[in-house]
């Protein structure tokens, strides 16, 4: 029997469509427990590859006969060998092309809404890492917000829409993934915007992004309004787009709130975080559609795979927005922080322009789940 090949895009569709699916992950147990492909209707078996070198007979009874089986490893080599053995044993199996490395880097564009004068907003779902990037397209122009280091997909997508990238923004200095913002700006001669309070140590030129600024994309009525919203970082800045969407960066998520400690200043910044969430955001319209820079769990995906919710709904349902006592808020936020992201200091230094790791090193630095939220 032949072994089938599945791409990260194929698996993403199964996540979005909530299909029943079975994954045999042949990485080490610690790697599997730290980070895996997640789907609402997915079942898993984790058997390290080295335990299968003598054959797969002992695991055949643990594998379903009525579901697609996908074999997954770090870079694809081990999964091909295991898939071959399972195929020879009579099972219909696939392996993940490029392994978890490819899963970490896949971005899936999803349209999240229309703008008043014919423009559109797209969300780029980095399904394996939980990162969310955005593109605002209007009248032949585009703005990109919180781009990942995989820049080609943004450039190709803008081309497919007949749009020229004019502006590139980072809502804050990222610590869990390497920004593609500067690279895109250089490739397109776009303006690269960064909050100056996050940029005190950067080594490159940028346009200072500050609260109250309006940046126009395409038609004059479509504006991106900057809202200073510190707490995750001291410079964190949100955007209100077309008076319809709130791009909240890493300050507010669907099921959680941003962590204030990635520069080692949790006690200093937790007050800013509360001020942003409980005062600045409270002044905004409940009808704004919140578009965060990350999602935490697969349950946060909507039916179409996008991640969004109205601000009023989040004020009603998000626990992080409903802690009335300030001392209790401080305690909950500072005592419920997950482990720091992998290599977060190196990622920050890269995003400042202080170090320039090669592509393989950048991949290695980003491997693993995102950890930008308070638990």
Is 60:85 a contact under the CB 8 Å cutoff?
no
The residue ranking higher by pLDDT, 19 or 223, is 19
Query: pLDDT tens digit string along 71-87?
Result: 999 999 999 999 999 99
Q: Please state, in angstroms and rounded to a whole number, the distance separating the CA atoms of residues 148 and 126.
A: 9
Active site residue 131: no
Q: Which residue has the tokens 């109250």?
A: 212
Task: Note whether 133 and 201 are same-domain residues.
Answer: yes
- Binned at pLDDT 50, 70 and 90, residue 148 comes out as very high
4 Cβ neighbours under 8 A, 6+ residues apart: 92, 93, 94, 95
Task: Note whether 34 and 140 are same-domain residues.
Answer: no
pLDDT at 221 over 60: no
pLDDT at 70 over 90: yes
What percentage of the chain has pLDDT greater than the value 90?
A: 75
What are 90's two structure tokens?
């009579």
Q: Which domain holds residue 315?
A: 107-366
Of 53, 77, 103, which closes a domain?
103
State the total domains in the chain: 2
**Predicted model pTM:** 0.94
Tell which residue, 214, 222, 215, 213, has the closest CA to residue 139: 222
Task: Note whether 227 and 197 are same-domain residues.
Answer: yes
Torsion angle of the four alpha carbons 294, 298, 302, 307, in this order, in degrees rounded to the nearest 10: 0
Q: What is the mean pLDDT of residues 317-333?
A: 92
Tell which residue, 373, 317, 298, has the closest CA to residue 340: 373
pLDDT at 308 over 60: yes
Task: Note whether 99 and 238 are same-domain residues.
Answer: no
- The average confidence (pLDDT) of the chain is 91
Asked if residue 214 belongs to a domain, the reply is: yes
Tell which residue, 64, 209, 96, has the closest CA to residue 143: 209
- Catalytic entry in 11, 24, 56, 73: 73
């Amino acid at each position: 029997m032949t072994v089938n090949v599945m791409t990260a895009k194929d698996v993403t569709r199964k996540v979005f469509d909530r299909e029943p699916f079975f994954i045999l992950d042949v990485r080490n147990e610690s790697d599997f427990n730290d980070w895996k492909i997640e789907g609402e209707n997915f079942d898993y078996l984790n058997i390290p590859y080295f335990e299968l070198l003598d054959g797969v007979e002992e695991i055949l009874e643990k594998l379903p006969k009525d579901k697609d089986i996908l074999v997954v490893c770090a870079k694809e080599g081990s999964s091909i060998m295991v898939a071959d053995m399972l195929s020879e044993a009579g099972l219909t199996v696939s392996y993940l092309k490029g392994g978890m490395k490819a899963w970490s880097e896949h971005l899936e564009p999803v349209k999240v809404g229309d703008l008043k004068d014919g423009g559109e907003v797209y969300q780029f779902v980095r399904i394996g890492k939980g990162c969310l990037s955005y593109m605002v397209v209007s009248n032949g122009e585009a703005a990109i917000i919180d781009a990942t280091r995989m820049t080609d997909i943004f450039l190709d997508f803008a081309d497919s829409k007949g749009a020229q990238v004019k502006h590139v923004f980072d809502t804050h200095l990222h610590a869990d993934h390497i920004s593609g913002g500067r690279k895109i700006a250089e490739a397109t001669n776009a303006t690269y915007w960064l909050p100056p309070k996050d940029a005190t140590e950067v080594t490159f030129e940028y346009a200072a992004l500050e609260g109250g600024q309006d940046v126009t994309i395409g038609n004059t009525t479509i504006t991106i309004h900057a809202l200073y919203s510190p707490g995750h970082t001291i410079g964190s800045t949100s955007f209100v787009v077309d008076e319809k969407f709130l791009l909240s960066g890493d300050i507010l998520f669907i099921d959680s709130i941003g962590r204030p400690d990635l520069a080692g200043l949790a006690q200093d910044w937790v007050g800013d975080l509360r001020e942003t969430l409980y005062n600045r955001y409270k002044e905004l319209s409940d009808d704004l559609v919140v578009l965060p820079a990350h999602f935490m769990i697969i349950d946060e995906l909507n039916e179409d795979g996008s991640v969004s919710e109205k601000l009023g709904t989040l004020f009603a349902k998000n626990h992080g927005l409903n802690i009335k006592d300030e001392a209790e808020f401080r305690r909950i936020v500072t005592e419920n922080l997950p482990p720091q992201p992998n290599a977060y200091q190196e990622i920050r230094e890269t995003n400042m322009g202080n170090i320039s790791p090669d592509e393989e090193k950048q991949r290695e630095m980003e491997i693993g789940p995102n950890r930008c939220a308070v638990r």
